[in-house]
A and B are shown apart, each in its own frame.
Chain A
Amino acid sequence: MTFFRFIAAGIFLLALSLSAPIARAQDFAAALADFTTDSFSDTEKAVTTIATSGNPRAADVIQALQDGRLFFTTEPKAVFIRTADGKFADAATGQAATPASPRPVRLNNRLRRSVDAALGGLTLLSPDANKRLEAAISVFRSRDAAALPTLDTAIAKETNTRVKRALTEARAAVILFKTDASETDKLDAVAVLRARGDQEAKALLSSLPADSPTNVKTAAQSAVAAIESNLALWATAQNAWYGISLGSVLLLAAIGLAITFGVMGVINMAHGEMVMLGAYTTFVVQEIIRTKNPALFDYSLLIALPLAFCVAGLVGIAIERGVIRWLYGRPLETLLATWGISLILQQAVRTQFGPTNKEVGNPSWMSGAFEVGGLTITYNRLWIVCFTLAVFVGLLAMLRFSRIGLEMRAVTQNRAMAASMGIRTGRIDALTFGLGSGIAGIAGVALSQIDNVSPNLGQSYIIDSFMVVVFGGVGNLWGTLVGAFTLGIANKFLEPFAGAVLGKIAILVLIILFIQKRPRGLFALKGRAVEA
């Protein structure tokens, strides 16, 4: 029985939905014809009919009327919309038309009001969810009491939760400022706005009209306080997230240096250029994919990662074998020589690719953002944080568990003994340096997603990277991790007070002062290894 009733209802609804558009289409055409009589009362009738017709062209027509772009001809009776480029389109169909001597549909003030109301209502009821949302937000800002009936209809009809919330909030805003609304309604409105809990809600609640009931006022005050503390909490969380994201960028840039400088004691001023090489590898990979097989674009970073590791790693090995191995034990001279190498690499890239920024695209899975409460998190930052931690853990595991890691640690701890145990120290040196450079290369792949890929890319990270390693303590990867995140988070929390540049200066000064206290960094090596 219920089943049949259900079917019957379904058929009835179907019939209704099929018949209604036809009836409305006739309404729409008839209403358009009313514009051609050139009388204000007919025009008003037309506006109301069109606004309720549900025709997809209704919004365009009313909008044109409001802008003074609606024209009509009497012979034949037809209505036209003038588009932005001065051409005409048929109002009923939207197709291009060339009317003979069109006259504008005139408006007076009374008409203008009903046009405005019709337009607001139309977008609130628009079939496009985004348009409804926009309309709700604009009502929220304008707090126009005239929109209240349409709002109620729209809320009743709405199925999209997000739009429904926006509509309810818009209604609350209207009610709160409507003088003749009941006290309970207003209290409900305060509760809705309190739940919204953002800056705009706070502004509304703290600018209540003077004649609001006392109950409403106290409720609003407590709501404002609640919103404020909530906002402060989210702002802190957002800052912390920015800090973590900046910290992971610093860690990425510094982690390779932590190996070459921290573990091997080589001041590699060309480290930034290894990062740059990684970024350019990404660029080249994407260029090839663009021309050969655009479908692979989403995998471009995955392809670039091993390539960047190899390119930067091989260049690093070449540098170690060619220059650095002659300079062990003379750190200041490795500094000068690698600075020279960094100049050569920069110029080489500039000669090959030009001095301008290269465009590196984001794959689709790295674009966009999502929201958690009051937090906005972009996917590319999130991926970089995850990637950084993965690289860090991978590196730790490699040094701890692999044969080559064991040999690397042996050589850095006691070169002579390692050599007498049969480890080929020269080879290990080259591989360690190659590893540090390779990691810089894959850092470049990640950084190409958030920074300009230009020959100067490396220079912008080199000082920060050294600061991280020195701050964290040389010879200790955990120190680099803590150092990077401390500096990143400190930087982001200083920024609101001091501005970006002064914040950075403050961080540099703080590090200089910190080094006074702990000359060998946060996690200093102790014992005999210190002087070595």
Chain B
Amino acid sequence: MITRTLDRGGWIFISILIAAAIIVPILNIATSPSSPLHIPSYAVALLGKYLCYALLALSIDLIWGYAGILSLGHGAFFALGGYAMGMYLMRQIGTRGVYAHPTLPDFMVFLNYKQLPWFWYGFDMFWFAALMVLLVPGLLAFVFGWLAFRSRVTGVYLSIITQALTYALMLGFFRNDFGFGGNNGLTDFKDILGFNVQAQGTRAALFVLSCVALGGCFLLCRAIVTSKLGKVLIGVRDAESRMRFLGYRVESYKLFVFVLSAMMAGVAGALYVPQVGIINPGEFAPSNSIEAVIWVAVGGRGTLTGAALGAFIVNYAKTTFTSGFLAPYWLFMLGGLFVIVTLLMPRGIVGTFRHWVAQRKAKKDAAKAEPNGAQPQAAE
């Protein structure tokens, strides 16, 4: 099954993930800090953060690259997953908060809450929080997608209202009376499942978990896009009305991948929060969601591996360039990247590479079977 769904790039991707999941924790824990091979803990957390971004990019690529749904609000699903995890982590603090209140998190005591709001019930249990990580983004995506796809909101209209959605959520989460900590968000986490969030072992475990999540979701996405369902999605992307005329319930297909993708984004957010140690309403900012789209565009839309690669490259560049003397120019670079990629590299890195490989192969084939003159097939 796996051999059938994975192409060569997929194998490389999975192998790298497995290698990273094994090597990084070992180099972090088993080597001494003075060793040249040592990976410091902050780097593990940073890599883990990139993995979460890669998962978010993967979820965007699934809907944008294969179903043609450009969501400019996917950061909202990411942030909702993050908030669900953050709420669990908040409840785990218990009486160790500044105000040492047995049930209320610090910010609620500070804001004079008398009791826990109803939507915080159950978040002291991990299984419930984990369920919510999937359910909340999934439900929002379902309601939103059901409304949008059924009434055939497509293209830029869909993009703009997804942006409005995340903007509305941002405004809401910035409010103190919304019950999610206002503009400070949720932070000061202590434990996750009884382990110290800051501990080296926990960080390594979270890193491995991120690898597993990214790998698992990648396999799932590959399975979807190589199946018949995937072919239908590509059909929807390229000629939606034709698919409708062929008798496919286009909106059901779209709704399915949209909800799935939102859940994946939620998982990414849930893994992101314990590794970064904070979640705040800034994550809902429309600019974040648009930036995530550009990761996909840089790596290569509709390639899955490209999405993950793009997230890595852009975020690595961001980390590198936002410290040091180039910091004021980072936005010039990011903006330039947006323009250059859309103008000069519409296929992205992986897409361009695949295109180049395919063309070379086609030329070779054409040279071999000269009289037939087979047309080169563009890989998409």
Q: Residues on A close to B: CB < 8 A?
A: 267, 269, 323, 326-327, 331-333, 335-337, 339-344, 346-348, 350-351, 459, 463, 466-467, 470, 501-502, 504-505, 508-509, 511-513, 515-517, 519-520
Whole-angstrom distance from the CB of B6 to the nearest CB of chain A?
29
Alpha-carbon separation in the docked complex, A375 to B70 (Å): 46
B328 contacts partner chain A, Cβ-Cβ < 8 Å: yes
Contact indicator B335/A508 (Cβ below 8 Å): no
| Residues on the A chain within 8 Å of B167, using CB | 463, 508
Binds A, one of B103-111, B242-250, B310-318, B336-344: B336-344
Checking A512, A519, A520 against B165 with a beta-carbon cut-off of 8 angstroms, the contacting residue is: A512
Whole-angstrom distance from the CB of B352 to the nearest CB of chain A?
15
Whole-angstrom distance from the CB of B203 to the nearest CB of chain A?
32
Contact indicator B335/A505 (Cβ below 8 Å): no
Contact indicator A336/B297 (Cβ below 8 Å): yes
B155 contacts partner chain A, Cβ-Cβ < 8 Å: yes
| Residues on the B chain within 8 Å of A331, using CB | 155-156
**A interface footprint on B137-163 (CB within 8 Å = 1, 0 otherwise):** 000000010011011110111011101
B290 contacts partner chain A, Cβ-Cβ < 8 Å: yes
Contact indicator B339/A470 (Cβ below 8 Å): no
Contact indicator A515/B157 (Cβ below 8 Å): yes
B346 contacts partner chain A, Cβ-Cβ < 8 Å: yes
| Residues on the A chain within 8 Å of B257, using CB | none
| Residues on the B chain within 8 Å of A267, using CB | 156, 159-160
| Residues on the B chain within 8 Å of A502, using CB | 172, 175
Contact indicator B338/A340 (Cβ below 8 Å): yes
B271 contacts partner chain A, Cβ-Cβ < 8 Å: no
B286 contacts partner chain A, Cβ-Cβ < 8 Å: yes
Contact indicator B156/A340 (Cβ below 8 Å): no
Contact indicator A515/B339 (Cβ below 8 Å): no
Closest 6 CB pairs of A and B: A340-B338, A343-B335, A344-B335, A347-B331, A508-B168, A340-B335
Contact indicator A504/B338 (Cβ below 8 Å): no
Q: Residues on B close to A: CB < 8 A?
A: 70, 72, 144, 147-148, 150-153, 155-157, 159-161, 163-165, 167-168, 171-172, 174-175, 286-287, 290, 293-294, 297, 328-329, 331-332, 334-339, 341-343, 346
Checking A335, A336, A350, A515 against B161 with a beta-carbon cut-off of 8 angstroms, the contacting residue is: A515
Alpha-carbon separation in the docked complex, A267 to B167 (Å): 18
Alpha-carbon separation in the docked complex, A331 to B163 (Å): 16
| Residues on the B chain within 8 Å of A347, using CB | 328-329, 331-332, 335
Checking A335, A341, A463 against B335 with a beta-carbon cut-off of 8 angstroms, the contacting residue is: A341
| Residues on the B chain within 8 Å of A332, using CB | 70, 155-156, 159
Pull 24 A–B residue pairs with CB atoms less than 8 Å apart, ordered by A. A327-B343, A332-B155, A333-B346, A337-B338, A339-B290, A339-B338, A340-B294, A343-B332, A343-B334, A344-B336, A346-B331, A347-B328, A463-B286, A467-B160, A501-B172, A501-B175, A504-B171, A508-B165, A511-B161, A512-B147, A515-B157, A515-B161, A519-B152, A519-B153
Query: For residue B150, which residue of chain A has the nearest CB?
Result: A516
Query: For residue B168, which residue of chain A has the nearest CB?
Result: A508
Whole-angstrom distance from the CB of B254 to the nearest CB of chain A?
14
Whole-angstrom distance from the CB of B182 to the nearest CB of chain A?
11
| Residues on the B chain within 8 Å of A459, using CB | 287
Whole-angstrom distance from the CB of B71 to the nearest CB of chain A?
11
Given A347-B335, A351-B328, A519-B152: A505 in contact with B168 (beta carbons within 8 A): yes
| Residues on the B chain within 8 Å of A336, using CB | 290, 293-294, 297, 338, 341-342
Most buried by A among B144, B174, B329, B342: B342
Whole-angstrom distance from the CB of A189 to the nearest CB of chain B?
44
| Residues on the B chain within 8 Å of A466, using CB | 160, 163-164
Alpha-carbon separation in the docked complex, A8 to B343 (Å): 94
Alpha-carbon separation in the docked complex, A132 to B3 (Å): 93
Query: For residue B155, which residue of chain A has the nearest CB?
Result: A331
Whole-angstrom distance from the CB of A345 to the nearest CB of chain B?
8
Checking A269, A346, A505 against B172 with a beta-carbon cut-off of 8 angstroms, the contacting residue is: A505
Whole-angstrom distance from the CB of B297 to the nearest CB of chain A?
6
Contact indicator B331/A343 (Cβ below 8 Å): yes
Contact indicator B168/A509 (Cβ below 8 Å): yes
Contact indicator A341/B339 (Cβ below 8 Å): yes
Contact indicator B157/A511 (Cβ below 8 Å): no
Alpha-carbon separation in the docked complex, A208 to B336 (Å): 71
Given A336-B294, A519-B151: A343 in contact with B161 (beta carbons within 8 A): no
Contact indicator A323/B343 (Cβ below 8 Å): yes
Given A343-B331, A344-B335, A346-B331: A326 in contact with B168 (beta carbons within 8 A): no
Alpha-carbon separation in the docked complex, A170 to B175 (Å): 43
Most buried by B among A332, A463, A467, A504: A332
Alpha-carbon separation in the docked complex, A339 to B334 (Å): 10
| Residues on the B chain within 8 Å of A351, using CB | 328
Given A343-B334, A508-B164: A516 in contact with B147 (beta carbons within 8 A): yes
Contact indicator B165/A337 (Cβ below 8 Å): no
Q: A335-B156, A341-B339, A470-B161 provided; 5 other pairs, C-beta below 8 A?
A: A332-B70, A336-B341, A347-B328, A508-B164, A516-B151
Alpha-carbon separation in the docked complex, A399 to B161 (Å): 29
| Residues on the B chain within 8 Å of A342, using CB | 335
| Residues on the B chain within 8 Å of A519, using CB | 151-153, 157
Most buried by A among B70, B161, B286, B338: B338
Contact indicator A501/B174 (Cβ below 8 Å): yes
Whole-angstrom distance from the CB of A271 to the nearest CB of chain B?
12
Contact indicator A344/B331 (Cβ below 8 Å): yes
Alpha-carbon separation in the docked complex, A343 to B331 (Å): 6
